Structure 1
Amino acid sequence: MSLPQIVSRDEWLAARQELLVKEKAATRARDELNADRRRLPMVEIDKEYVFEGPDGKAGLLDLFEDRLQLVVYHFMFDPEWEAGCRSCSGFLDDLGHLTHLNVRGTTFAAVSRAPFEKIAGFKARMGWNVPWYSSYGSDFNHDFDVTHDESVKPIVYNYRSKEEHINAGTGYYIENAGQPFELPGLSAFLRDGDRVFHTYSTYGRGVELLTSTTAILDITALGRQEDWEEPKGRTTGLGAQAGRTPS
């Protein structure tokens, strides 16, 4: 195994300070990227989706739990499987306390295509309290490009078609293209009264670091709801930390 070079404390400090310049640049670039995310336009959801949860049937608006925003984790759980995806399970294991999202008017929920009875059993086995709904029998997973079945619609994942993935060398995403298969993703929604809008979705490796409160809020239209964020005017007063500027 190759280990880092051994140097004096002064040499290490000089190297660390040089790296810090790059880290600060990456942080500022990330802030700009998050602001661009918040400037994305949004699309109204005009299809009626029916989910099943612990209280029975629910529509997409119900998943908000009366909050302004909803973030859905598209958890891979095929109806034929007896357990959920291992990597998706790792994602939920990494989640922080959902109250930190809730006080900022944001609800987090998982959605899978497996019947709710299977979801409930697996959720209890894993000891999770995250809201989790079944989209079994609805078009939700297909419409958000996380269940792929060429008999239903052409394959599109992470905004690339099957052919584009093959040409880009990312054909591993569609290796199971001959049969229905599941892939992960994360989608954000915003409500205005009873109207629901889709603001953002990310897939593949775009999902893997989105397990902290700030990272999840950064993909939403309202962001962290702090005064320093661009564009201005997205602060809701729900957990906003006025006047704080990032270093």
Structure 2
Amino acid sequence: MNYPQIVTREEWLVARRELLTREKEATRARDRLNAERRRLPMVKIDKQYLFDGPEGKVSLLDLFDGRRQLIVYHFMFDPSWDEGCPGCTNLVNNIPGNITRLHESDTSLVLVSRAPLAKLESYKQQKNWTARWLSSYGSDFNYDFDATDENGEKPGISVFLRDGEQIFHTYSTTGRGVDILLGTYNYLDLTPLGRQEEWEEALNRSVIPAQS
């Protein structure tokens, strides 16, 4: 990778102001996108889903833990695998050890995988994780929310809203959509070396014209 051009402080300030303009535009665009996400229509969940957890069989409603919102991260762990997906492992390593702020906002966060609970518990202990992790082994949950298809496992996020005992599906994303949970990527995106992944190289060589 080529390093950025070396310039004077004055030249850097000009370039920084130009980039700041685009950063502010991107922030406002992200705010609008988040608002559109909140306005997505939702679907009532009538199907019963059961999960295996350390406490035994639990329902989707139980995963809310009494809160109004639930974020599910679909962790890629096929029942035939002995270890979880490295990319999903990286994402869980990014989950804060203290998620009190989520709970204060009436939101629960859980991991769900298709592998049997024994495999999940073993991997969780190996990684010294504290996040709540449930097994959907034998259920349609992953398939119904596009986290598993004919090609296998996919990383994904699904979001649910609870109104009493009624549950609504409000949002899902897969692939690069899960990047939003990767805090270290946000740090690395601030640096000249970036995430140091191959796909970045073409973008690193691109020249964006200055705004007039």
What displacement does 1:98 show? Answer: 1.6
CA deviation map 1:63-101 (0-9, x unaligned): 001001000000000111111100000000011232221
Give 1:48's aligned residue.
48
Number of matched residues?
Answer: 183
Equivalent of residue 159 in structure 2, options 183, 188, 192: 188
Confirm whether residue 199 of structure 1 aligns to residue 199 of structure 2: no
Give 2:82's aligned residue.
82
- In 1: Cα distance, 2:5 partner to 2:94 partner: 32
What displacement does 1:60 show? Answer: 0.2
Unaligned runs of 5+ in 1: 150-176, 216-247
CA deviation map 1:118-155 (0-9, x unaligned): 10110011011101000001110110111113xxxxxx
CA deviation map 1:164-214 (0-9, x unaligned): xxxxxxxxxxxxx4xxx11110010000000000000011101112245xx
- In 1: Cα distance, 2:24 partner to 2:87 partner: 30
Confirm whether residue 34 of structure 1 aligns to residue 54 of structure 2: no
Partner AA of 1:139 in structure 2: D
Secondary structure in 1 matching 2:108: strand
Give 2:139's aligned residue.
138
- In 1: Cα distance, 2:100 partner to 2:54 partner: 19
Give 1:119's aligned residue.
120
- In 2: Cα distance, 1:143 partner to 1:7 partner: 54
Unaligned runs of 5+ in 2: 187-212
CA deviation map 1:11-37 (0-9, x unaligned): 001100110000000000000000011
RMSD: 1.2
Secondary structure in 1 matching 2:79: coil
Distance 1:211 1:2, change over 3 A: closer
**Equivalent residue runs for 1:203-242 within 5 Å:** 203-211=174-182
Give 1:241's aligned residue.
none
Secondary structure in 2 matching 1:201: strand
- In 2: Cα distance, 1:148 partner to 1:35 partner: 30
Confirm whether residue 101 of structure 1 aligns to residue 72 of structure 2: no
Partner AA of 1:53 in structure 2: G
Secondary structure in 2 matching 1:48: coil
Secondary structure in 2 matching 1:209: helix
Q: Percent identity?
A: 57
TM-score after normalising by structure 1: 0.72
**Kept after mapping to 1: 8 A contact 2:112/2:135:** yes
CA deviation map 1:39-60 (0-9, x unaligned): 1111000000010101000000
TM-score after normalising by structure 2: 0.84
Distance 1:72 1:130, change over 3 A: same
Displaced runs of 4+ in structure 1, greater than 4 A?
none
